[in-house]
Structure 1
Amino acid sequence: MTATGADREAAGPTTRGYWWWGRRRSVALDVGLASASALECALEGVVFAGDTGLPVPVGVLFGLVAGSVLLVRRRWPIAVVLVSIAMTPAEMGFLMAVVGLYTLAASDVPRRITGVLTGMSLVGTFVVTYVRLRQGVAEGADFGPGDWYVPLVSLFMSLGLAAPPLLFGLYIGARRRLMESLRERADSLERELSLLADRAEERAEWARTEERTRIAREMHDVVAHRVSLMVVHAAALQAVAPKDPAKAVRNAALVGDMGRQALTELREMLGVLRSGDTLSAPPTGRVPLASVGRAAAAAAAAAAEDGPRLDEVESLVAQSREAGMTVELSVQGELRPYTPEVEQTAYRVVQEALTNVHKHAAGAKAWVRLAHRGAEVAMQVENGPSDGGTADAGLPSGGNGLVGMRERVLGLGGVFVSGPTDAGGFRVSAVLPAEPGA
């Protein structure tokens, strides 16, 4: 697994424990180069002592100290180059000069300073080589090369010692900076991908939660109303069976019809969910965010297309009347087609409100009002106080009916109000825009 920038920073003590070196390999390399440079300068110090008349131990000691400066080439590359330039007249420190120029070019020192120091090293090497060659040519009078020989060889020598380490150092420095830039970019991309993955997981979880809520709401609307009516009819059937067998038969037939309708709606809903799962489930078993969103949207759209319509409200009211409830239906304005979401939501609001009347206000009278306006459709279901003489059907309540209605209406940009009336009843009112979200 690739370590991120934060991981590398956290691992700092394991990689930055050797002064200015980052790794043990760097320590070993610099110690080896400094030892080789000190040995070279010590040997050249013997010759230097003989030429200048100094004691040999002094020349050797001077060479050892000067050559050891290469140990700090990573920390102070400018100092190393300056020391190598200062030792050029003594013809000492060739290894230090080459390695110093390479380190200077590969470091983050400004290019202007690098150019100046390289020029100084080039000039120093050229002058020393030129002088030595002149002396050698003067001593060997029998060998008479042309005037071009000494400056040309001096130029080649100075360029040969300065150009290769300079160019190689510039290349390594540029490559190192490029790698650091790519590493930082990779760390940044990794952090962004991790953030995007977290957000995608949050959105997927939100989409799954929304889909579960929608399924629960649909199941509640389908099952609660039908089963409530079935329970009411079953109670009526039990009451009238000994007295009026014909009415008992009719109630039994109604219970069977409502049960079949409930099963039909459940099958349609499950069919929509299965088709959505089939379309969105990849063979790997991992569901991406886009598939979750598409499945939820497809299931919601299919459920809206196959759901009930406003023109079925009259039959819905008739079912409640058959269950023994007194319901008055009034419609204002001309019925016109709406989007499937609006029609299904309006139907479900009326359905759930009537279900609540069956549950909580046995024997109460109810009023259902629909109003078709220019850019909206309004609905209101109101019931009076419960009739104390009517036996309660004993229907359980989960407390999710009003919550589901409110979620449906607000999800389409509508207004939902519910609460008790002054007469002791309960009222549910909703207004939906003709176009969802308008």
Structure 2
Amino acid sequence: MTTTGDDRTTAMTGPWWWERRLGAALDVGLAVVSAAECGGEGVVFARDAGLPTAVGVGFGVLAGSSLLFRRRWPVAVVLIAIAITPAQMGVLLTVVGLYSLAASELPRRITGALAGMSMAGTLIVALVRASQDLAKEGTHPPIGSEFVPFFAVAASIGVTAPPVLLGLYVGARRRLMESLRERADDLERELQLLAERAEERAEWARNEERTRIAREMHDVVAHRVSLMVVHAAALQAVARKDPEKAVKNAALVGDMGRQALTELRQMLGVLRTGEGVKSAKPVEPVPLAAVAHAAAAAASRAQDEDGPCLAELDELVGQSRDAGMAVDLSVEGEPRGYAADVEQTAYRVVQEALTNVHKHAAGAKTYVRLAHRAAEIAMQVENEPPPEAGSADAGLPSGGNGLVGMKERVTELGGVFVSGPTDGGGFRVSAVLPAAAG
């Protein structure tokens, strides 16, 4: 689990500029050791310089204690180490200071310049000290002239190169880890954003599927049941007066019921899960977005295969005529094949319009017009006022979703839908669909 920048800032529990207490304790320990080393070497420095011992020790302790600030001001620590190099003190200060400088975020040219200055100072001090030691021991010049340069170069490289190289390696590794951590944080945020977007898309797909199913069920149930209610009322009226007509109406009610059940089974079949799956293996979890997409695709395939089409329009009008409605169907233009969703939408618009006539204007003369045009198909259902005021409403329940569902269907395909009362007191429903909408 990665930590974000805010988490890392909160995790800084050390005092002042230290990120952790362990780092602070380490720097304090190094500063104490460095102060002790420089203080001890200050005794020799004070004796050689002719100063009081206390002054030399105090100077050494003060200079060595500067190692406490190696993380905050590494340049200052290295400069102090270079400054006290002629006094032959501060080896630990020099080594740790150069390491801290190389591992910091400072430009490499500054690190190189200070490392070069430290190496030069160490080289000069080593040459002088080696020469003095050889002179005290009385070594012959030939031996001394060969030994002194080698010792000085080895000492300067040994004190300077290892801490600088180690610091460069640690700094590069630290920057690499920080870069990887930031990339992991970015990736985690992106994954979280993608998960939120996927959930939003899944919710949108669920809502779309609910709307589509509700619309289909309204179209199927409302039309078929409305016709069944109309035929049942007619059956009740003529049961004793005209038994033959009553039998015919009863047969029509049965046919309507069977057709309604068939359409409901076809539509609800796409909601079944695991149909045709005979494997005994457990089903792996599937993302919700994929389920919604698969359901929508299955529903679309079911509509394309089993949905109503314009060829069934005559049968639809005939059912309304059998229910006692005076319906006039006219077709303009040359009929041709359209996409399945276009034909289904056109059929549903006419079906719902006829259902509304059964509900609200029973017995009214109705005109159904269908026009095949070059780039579009137009349909219109218009009814006259009902012949009797008492028959204006058949008493069928209405949810107020019929016109809304028709408009949604048409606009989804890029068409135009208009509905409203006519000047003569009737009602008109008009829709135009692009022929290539599918």
Q: Among residues 99, 124, 129, which one is paired with 1:132 in the alignment? A: 129
Superposed displacement of residue 278, structure 1: 7.7
Q: Normalised by the size of structure 2, how large is the TM-score?
A: 0.95
- The Cα of 1:226 is off from its aligned counterpart by 0.3
Counterpart CA distance in 2 for 1:180 and 1:45 is 42
Cα distance, 1:146 vs. partner? 5.7
1:381 alignment counterpart: 381
Question: What is the RMSD of the two structures over their aligned residues, measured on CA atoms?
Answer: 1.8
| Correspondence for 2:82 | 85
Q: Which residue of 2 aligns with 1:403?
A: 404
> Which residue of structure 2 lines up, in the alignment, with residue 292 of structure 1?
292
Deviation at 1:138? 2.3
The aligned residue for residue 49 of structure 1 is 46
Aligned equivalents of 2:33, 2:317: Cα separation in 1: 103
Equivalent residue of 1:15, what SS? coil
Change (3 A) 1:276 1:396: farther
Q: For the structure 1 residues 156 and 277, does the alpha-carbon distance in structure 2 shift closer, same or farther, using more than 3 Å as the test?
A: farther
Q: Which amino acid aligns with 1:182?
A: L
**Contact 2:34–2:90 under 8 Å retained in 1:** yes
Find the counterpart in structure 1 of residue 236 from structure 2: 238
The 5 Å alignment of 1:216-295 reads: 216-274=214-272, 283-295=283-295
For 1:26 and 1:278, the matched residues in 2 are separated by 65
Q: Which amino acid aligns with 1:426?
A: F
Instruction: Report the more deviating stretch, 155-164 or 143-152.
Output: 143-152
- Please report how far the alpha carbon of residue 436 of structure 1 lies from its aligned counterpart in structure 2 after TM superposition: 1.0
Unaligned runs of 5+ in 2: none
SS of 2:419's equivalent? strand
Judge conservation of contact 2:13–2:21 (CA < 8 Å) in 1.
Answer: no
Deviation, structure 1 residue 135: 1.5
Give a deviation string over 1:141-185, Cα, whole Å, max 9, x none: 355526332111110100000000000000111111111111111
Contact 2:270 2:302 (8 Å CA) reproduced: yes
Per-residue CA shift, 1:402-433, capped at 9, x if unaligned? Answer: 11111111111111111111011111101111
TM-score by length of 1: 0.95
Q: Secondary structure of the residue that 2:172 maps to in structure 1?
A: helix
Select which of 128, 151, 157 maps to 1:153.
151
Equivalences for residues 81-120 of structure 1 within 5 A: 81-120=78-117
Report the Cα distance in structure 2 between the residues aligned to 1:200 and 1:407, rounded to whole angstroms.
Answer: 25
Q: Which runs of 4+ in 1 moved over 4 A?
A: 275-279
The residue number in structure 2 matching 1:362 is: 362
Please point out which of 193, 213, 231 is paired with 1:215. Answer: 213
**Is the contact between residue 360 and residue 392 of structure 2 (CA under 8 Å) also seen in structure 1?**
no
Looking at structure 2, the residues matched to 116 and 314 of structure 1 have their Cα atoms a distance apart, in angstroms, of 96
Contact 1:276/1:296 (CA < 8 Å) preserved in 2?
no
The CA deviation string for residues 168-224 of structure 1, in whole angstroms up to 9 with x for no partner, is 000111111111111111111111111111111111111111111111111111111
1:342 aligns with 2:339: no
**How far did 1:308 drift?**
0.6
Shift of 1:288: 3.9
Taking the aligned partners of 1:7 and 1:397, their CA distance within structure 2 comes to 59
